[in-house]
Amino acid sequence: MKNKVVIVTGASSGIGKACAIEFAQKGAHVVLVARSAAKLEILAGQISSYGVLALPVVADVSQEDDCKKMIHQVLHQFGKIDVLINNAGISMRASFADIDVSVLKKVMGVNFWGTVYCTRHALASILENKGSVVGVSSIAGYKGLPGRTGYSSSKFAMHGFLESLRLENLKNGLHVLIACPGFTASNIRNTALTGDGSSQGETPRDEQKMMQPEEVATYIVDAVEMRKDRLTLTLNGKLTVLLNKFFPKWVDKLVYNHMRKEPDAPFK
């Protein structure tokens, strides 16, 4: 990763922040993309202490113009892009019968279209450098989760997009990684949208029992270095993906029973 230029969206917290630090510690110059200027400035100062360059860029990845301007700024500053980490994401928690369609559009806008917009405008430079496009996804992209219709839909869409992109460029040296961390301690559940579009607030899960962002970041950066196609973390995540291939109805029941144990589960 020495002197590589890495873009990380959703870099202000959680997995994105941890990935930015991990890449920087390996000698990469890092572009930090998020909506919070204050958080990005603090992180940029921390990363600069590793002897690499850190470029904070305030952008909303659900807006194509923001993504286009961000990529142009990166190319002006560094002249190239080696790795794009599509990490920016939001979640939602509500029964489909109770959700406003605008919430689904917002989730899809960040999780799916944000990946599409950033990848589209960065692709030419990444191809030129035989670099990597990474989608930080979820087990919800392999198995639909009740109460998370918009979130699962966005991750399934991300998977289809990235797999197609990989196949289109099999002969062009492009590396495409779909990374599925499983439940990870972060603020994504605190900021998850409810049926009316408001923030959920308190997470319904015990964050202390989950994988920590720093551990996830180590796996993702290693997978980029080894140019892996897929990364699925946690035993539960791996078993869910594997067993769903052979016993989908049984896994349906397991997932339903697991998710309905959440406090105030939005479905019965």
Q: For residue 62, what are its two tokens?
A: 């659900």
Beta-carbon neighbour count of residue 167 at 10 Å? 9
pLDDT range class, residue 203, cuts 50, 70, 90? low
The pLDDT mean for the chain works out to 91
- How far is residue 216's CA from residue 134's CA, in Å, rounded to a whole number? 14
Q: For residue 89, what are its two tokens?
A: 């994401």
| Residues labelled catalytic | 151
pLDDT digits (tens, 9 = 90+) for 18-65: 999 999 999 999 999 999 999 999 999 999 999 999 999 999 999 999
Percent of residues, the chain, with pLDDT higher than 70: 91
Asked whether residue 189 carries a pLDDT value surpassing 60, the answer given is no
pLDDT digits (tens, 9 = 90+) for 72-116: 999 999 999 999 999 999 999 898 999 999 999 999 999 999 999
pTM of the predicted model over 0.85? yes
Q: C-alpha angle with apex 266: 264 to 268, nearest 5 degrees?
A: 95
Asked whether residue 264 carries a pLDDT value surpassing 90, the answer given is no
Beta-carbon neighbour count of residue 227 at 10 Å? 13
Domains in the chain: ranges and CATH = 5-259 (3.40.50.720)
CB–CB of 43/12 below 8 Å?
yes
Q: Give the torsion through C-alpha atoms of 102, 8, 192, 241, to 10 deg.
A: 100
The b-or-e profile of 70-109 (16+ CB within 10 A means b, else e) is bbeebbeebeebbbbbbbbbbbbbbeeeebeeebbebbbb
The predicted structure's pLDDT at residue 265: 80
Asked whether residue 208 carries a pLDDT value surpassing 80, the answer given is no
User: Which DSSP symbol is given to 112?
Assistant: I
CB–CB of 20/57 below 8 Å?
no
